[in-house]
Amino acid sequence: MTSTTNTGPSNTSLTSAGLSLSPEQLAAEIESGRISVIDVREPMEYVGGHIAGSHNIPLSRLGSSSLPEGPLVLVCQSGNRSERGLATLLRGGHPHPLADLEGGMGAWQQAGLPMKRRQGAPLPLMRQVQIAAGSLVLLGVFLSQTVAPGWIWLAGFVGAGLTFAGVSGFCGMARLLAVMPWNRVRA
């Protein structure tokens, strides 16, 4: 799928499939009431901060869920999942115009646009991974200096896991943390 970036003014309406909208363009489209926003992140990510009025339909359920009528804009954290969601809907012959948020929720936040957050929502998953990985590395280094040198392998194992996650896009620690009791939420 070839994605075209819409660089026109923010009052440009969503008229063709496969556009990427800037955060400012999406905000203008939301204000006009002409589009529906579909957040394809997992529920725990969604409750941690989302665009007001958006619908949470995780990417894994996007092809089998009923969607609002009319033009849709897909949103995720970085833009990767929303691009995959666009491809899924286009392959399925979605009848209405589609777009995604260029740069995802990260770009939305950087633009200073408002987000809605559920009270008591868990920390974002990436922050949980950073806390867990950093703690395990520190623990491995500390134990290797105070208990036995072999504990340094704990730090090495975590480093290898993070490297694999960066190269492959699969983070086992994130998958494990996502199923922890404190991360079980309903959107």
Three-state helix/strand/coil letters over 14-58: CCCCCEEECHHHHHHHHHHCCCEEEECCCHHHHHCCECCCCEECC
Residue 19 to residue 21: CA distance in whole angstroms: 6
Contact 41, 73 (CB under 8 A): no
**Catalytic annotation, pick one of 21, 76, 171, 177:** 76
Joined together, the tokens standing for residue 141 give 């280094």
Look-up of token digits 């208990």? 147
Provide CB contacts within 8 A for 128, sequence distance 6+: 122, 174, 177, 183
CB contact set of 169 (below 8 Å; sequence gap of 6+): none
Answer yes or no: 171 catalytic: no
Annotated catalytic residues are: 76
